[in-house]
Amino acid sequence: MNLKIYSGDSLEELVEVLKIAIARRSLVIIFGECRVDYEGRAASRLELGERVVIIKQDGALLVHRPHGYSPVNWQPSTAIIEVAFKPSVGLVLHAVRDKPREYLTVVFIQVGLVVVGELVDQGEFTMYLEERDMRDILAENPWIIEEDLRVLGVEKPIGEGYVDIYALDKSGRHVLVELKRITATREAALQLYRYVEVYKKEYGETPRGILIAPSFAPTALETLTRLGLEYRYVDLKKLWEFFKKRGSRRVRLQEFFKK
C-alpha cells in the first residue's frame, strides 16, 4: 500500500497533484467543500456542501455526502477526467463518459485533504445467493416482502419477459415483484415499469410494482420515485442464513430489510 497525503496545499497546487494521479490511474480521495452538476440521461444540481470525492483506479468517480452509504452522484469507469483551476470559481473536476454520454462536474471552493495512492486487491468475492434462490425464499415467505402478501405465481410471463413474483396484497391489488441480487440500476427500474405498463394494457388494471435488491444506484431510486414504483432493501447475508436454515424457524421481517 503506497499512499501520499496532501494537506494545506492551495487549489492551484493540487491541480498538478491530481492531474498526475489521474494520468497514473491512481486512487484519489478528496475531502472538501464542493458543488456538483450532472447532465446526461437526466440532469441534477447539488449545491455547496462538505463531501468526499473518490476517483478509483478504473476511473470510476463517486461523490459521498457525510451521511448514507450510497453516493449522491457517481460515474462508472470514465473515459475522460479533466482537472483545472479557474480563478473566482475553484478547482474543477470534469468527468465525461461516452456510452451513454454523461457529464459530471465537481467544483471545489475549498479542499482540506487529498489522499493519493495505489491499492492492490485480488481477493475473491462470493455472492451469497443466486437470484432464483432469492426468489424461492421470498415466494415461500412473502411476509418478508410485505405482511399479508399472497403469492399467486413465480416467473409470470409479462409481454416478452417474466416477472419474478406475482402476488396479491391485503387490499386485493395485484403486485409485480422484480428481484436483483446486485445493485439495482435505472435499467432495472425501467424493466419493472415496462412489466407494469404491459400488465395494465393486458388486464385493464394498474398493479403495484416493487423492486427488491441489496442496494440501489441513485438513478434507480430517482426513476422508481418518478414512475410511482416501490422498492425494498434486502440483506443477502441474512437471507442466506435463512436459506441454510430453511423451514426451521420464522424470522421477523425487521431482520431482513435495512432501514
Measure the CA–CA gap between 239 and 216, rounded to whole angstroms: 18
Domain match, 224 and 174 both: yes
In contact, 145 and 177? CB cutoff 8 Å: yes
* pLDDT tens-place string over residues 136-191: 888 988 998 999 999 999 999 998 899 999 999 999 999 999 999 889 999 999 99
Domain match, 103 and 156 both: no
CATH number of the domain bearing residue 97? 2.70.180.20
* pLDDT tens-place string over residues 43-97: 999 999 999 999 999 999 999 999 988 899 999 888 799 999 999 999 999 999 8
Domain match, 163 and 233 both: yes
Domain assignment present for 124: no
Measure the CA–CA gap between 47 and 86, rounded to whole angstroms: 18
Which of 92, 118, 144 is the last residue before a domain boundary? 118
Which of 60, 90, 118 is the last residue before a domain boundary? 118
- Whether the pTM exceeds 0.75: the reply is no
- Nearest alpha carbon to residue 189 among 210, 220, 158, 165: 220
Residue 253 pLDDT > 60: no
Grid cell digits, residue 91: 478547482
Measure the CA–CA gap between 205 and 3, rounded to whole angstroms: 58
Domain assignment present for 123: no
Q: How confident is the model at residue 193 (pLDDT cuts 50, 70, 90)?
A: very high
- Nearest alpha carbon to residue 134 among 211, 188, 69: 211
Measure the CA–CA gap between 127 and 132, rounded to whole angstroms: 13
Q: How confident is the model at residue 255 (pLDDT cuts 50, 70, 90)?
A: low
Q: How confident is the model at residue 204 (pLDDT cuts 50, 70, 90)?
A: very high
Domain match, 140 and 75 both: no
- Domain range for residue 31? 2-118
Number of domains within the chain: 2
Domain match, 110 and 188 both: no
